[in-house]
Copies of this chain bind each other. A is one copy, B any other.
Amino acid sequence: MKCAGDIEVRAVEEESINIDPIQAGGRLTAAAMKALIAYGDGYSVCDNCRKPNRLDYIKKPPIDRFHRELAEFVGMDVARVVPGARRGFQAVADTYVEKGDPVLVTALSHYTEILAIEARGGIPMEIPASPGNIITPDAAAAKIEEVIAKTGRTPPLLFLDHVDYSYGNLHPVREIAKTAHGYDIPVLLNGAYTVGIMPVDGKDLGVDFVVGSGHKSMAAPAPSGVLAVRNERAGEVFRTTAARTDVTSRTFGIKEVEMMGCTLMGATLVGMMASFPEVRERVLRWDSELANTALVVDALKRIGGTAILSQYPRRHTLTRVDTSQSFDRVAEKHKKKGFFFTSALKDRGITGIIPGATRVWKFNCYGLSRAQAEYVAESFIAIARENGLPVS
């Protein structure tokens, strides 16, 4: 069935249990869906934009209040909405990184942080991961010392993934931030996998900037996200334009340079806003999310030859698994080859794992009900048994 022209209706979320690694936290709430229908038109939120003509001053819909609540939600002072977490990285890199600057990232940093640095001519320098794929404050300190010794420059910024995209591991942010601050290096927390999913308090974690993703973890349409900063950084990252044109002497009021003026004018912003009350509540139920994930992970561990590559016990719902000694062994002889596994999952109404994956793959159980999590766990076991794998 087409929804428009030759675009097929997307019914993945209606027809399946979707354990896709990146999609779980971005499913819209019912409220966001309703708001989207009301505010789909381009500049829909601008009906009541009055002087000083900036998005975060609009009172109807209550965009101004949303900005304040958003800052509070992540434990920071000032927040702006941005078209995706990556645009938050870009704004901060643009503000602090000069050509040739060494900029700290980690061995588990998301590629968009690297691009934000590369765009400014900075040199990304990775803090290595410790065995178990955790970034430690010791590794951070050693890397900072090494970079300063080698380049003679103190990095202007450290990008740290709260939970990384690769293993879904939770890193010791507070301790790393403290280490970095010992060298006067500000820390940007990439909360794309945490803000909107689990409680995040930037000041408590001691970071300077918190970035979150609307479409990844805040039940919002893409592209959307949040960049929140402490008061002492707001004048830097959210500096207003200083331009005065040479012929007409035009100035541009309080438009912010790194935001390119206004950011999310319609459906994306209202989607974030409409989901926000529910998002604020759902982070408090993080324990039950982890319990669901534990259930699925423990089922996988019962399948002989299967290894959980992520931190264990799980502290996040995104999980990396190695089944090269279990499901991949089956694939070697199965008539569907590597596709037998995702095909068997599909027959059971489970989707979201890359088709054909049987070696190392990721899944995310965020947002499943207990019954759905139990069903996913049972399905992994059943597929293993059907294919002659030992189950303990």
Tell me the complex Cα distance, A129–B276, Å. 46
Contact of A216 among B6, B35, B42, B277 (CB under 8 A): B42
A62 and B22 form a contact (CB under 8 A): no
A266 and B32 form a contact (CB under 8 A): no
Tell me the complex Cα distance, A87–B221, Å. 18
Q: Which residues of B contact A242 (CB under 8 A)?
A: 118
A261 and B111 form a contact (CB under 8 A): yes
Among A244-252, A288-296, A309-317, A370-378, the stretch in contact with B: A244-252
Tell me the complex Cα distance, A263–B86, Å. 9
Interface presence of A222 (CB below 8 A): yes
A268 and B222 form a contact (CB under 8 A): yes
B41 and A243 form a contact (CB under 8 A): no
Q: Which residues of B contact A10 (CB under 8 A)?
A: 38-39, 41, 44, 47, 61
A37-B37, A128-B247, A223-B263 known; A61 vs B114 contact (CB < 8 Å): no
Contact of A257 among B36, B107, B115, B243 (CB under 8 A): B115
Tell me the complex Cα distance, A255–B86, Å. 13
A102 nearest in chain B by CB position:
B246
Interface presence of A182 (CB below 8 A): no
A61 and B223 form a contact (CB under 8 A): no
B38 and A111 form a contact (CB under 8 A): no
Contact of A221 among B50, B124, B258, B266 (CB under 8 A): B266
Q: Which residues of B contact A381 (CB under 8 A)?
A: none
Tell me the complex Cα distance, A94–B257, Å. 13
Interface presence of A273 (CB below 8 A): yes
A126 and B43 form a contact (CB under 8 A): no
A26 nearest in chain B by CB position:
B42
Interface presence of A83 (CB below 8 A): yes
A4 and B28 form a contact (CB under 8 A): no
Q: Which residues of B contact A4 (CB under 8 A)?
A: 31-32, 34-35, 38, 273-274
Query: Can you list 26 A-B contacts (CB < 8 A)?
Result: A3-B274, A4-B34, A4-B273, A5-B274, A7-B35, A11-B38, A20-B47, A23-B43, A28-B40, A36-B40, A40-B221, A84-B265, A90-B260, A111-B252, A111-B261, A112-B260, A114-B243, A115-B241, A115-B243, A118-B242, A119-B258, A124-B245, A221-B267, A222-B265, A222-B268, A223-B263
Which residues of A pack against B, CB within 8 Å? 3-13, 20, 22-23, 25-28, 31-44, 46-47, 50, 60-62, 83-84, 86-87, 89-90, 94, 105, 107, 111-112, 114-119, 124-128, 214-216, 219-223, 241-243, 245-248, 250, 252, 255, 257-258, 260-261, 263-271, 273-274, 276-277, 354
Q: Kindly list the 6 A-B residue pairs having the minimum CB-CB distance in the complex, ordered from nearest.
A: A26-B42, A42-B215, A83-B83, A4-B274, A4-B31, A222-B266
